[in-house]
Amino acid sequence: MSEAPSRILIIANKTLGGTEMLDRVGELNTPAGSASFYLLVPATPVGDSPWEAGDYRRRAGVEEAGRRLQQGLEEISGLGAEVDGEVGEADPVDAVRALLDRGMGFDRILLSTFAAGLSRWLRLDVPHRLKRTTDLPTEHIETEVTVS
């Protein structure tokens, strides 16, 4: 009897295509098919102009997250990994709670952020908040550069 593939939740937004995260996905999916991935891209509001109303910023954030999700799904499946995903709420911890409330289960979490000093998610203490909220092993992956 073969063991069920590990189910891994990836949380990323602007760092989604970073080499560090993609390398880690490849490591976790060895041998091929030994893991399945679920990509969660929080819809962070876009823009900071005082002329941009909150609803516009939210919609633009959802659209941008949708583009990143599609790109991420293509990149991860290109590594030979089984992957699915969705755009979630702006706060990564709230977005994970929503998945868990829907009954989705995971064995571990990969959280991809920018390095300290650049990362809004680190300033919001997302890695520690996730650990407290989920009790799942949470691996934090830092990306040094902006990914398109």
pLDDT digits (tens, 9 = 90+) for 79-138: 999 999 999 999 999 999 999 999 999 999 999 998 887 788 988 899 999 999 998 999
pLDDT at 54 exceeding the cut of 80: no
- Residue 12 or 31, more confident: 12
For the chain, how far is it from start to end, CA to CA, in angstroms? 42
Contact (Cβ atoms closer than 8 angstroms) between residue 20 and residue 48: no
Tokens for 114, please give them: 């920018």
pLDDT of residue 56: 65
Q: What is the pTM of this model?
A: 0.88
Domains of the chain (ranges; CATH) run 6-143 (3.40.50.620)
Burial degree of 72 (CB within 10 A; 0-12, 13-18, 19+)? buried
Contact (Cβ atoms closer than 8 angstroms) between residue 113 and residue 143: yes
Residues 6+ apart with CB under 8 A from 44: 13, 61, 64, 65, 90, 120
Kindly give the interhelix angle for 54-77 and 19-28, rounded to the nearest 10 degrees. 50
pLDDT of residue 2: 47
Closest CA to 18 of 139, 112, 102: 112
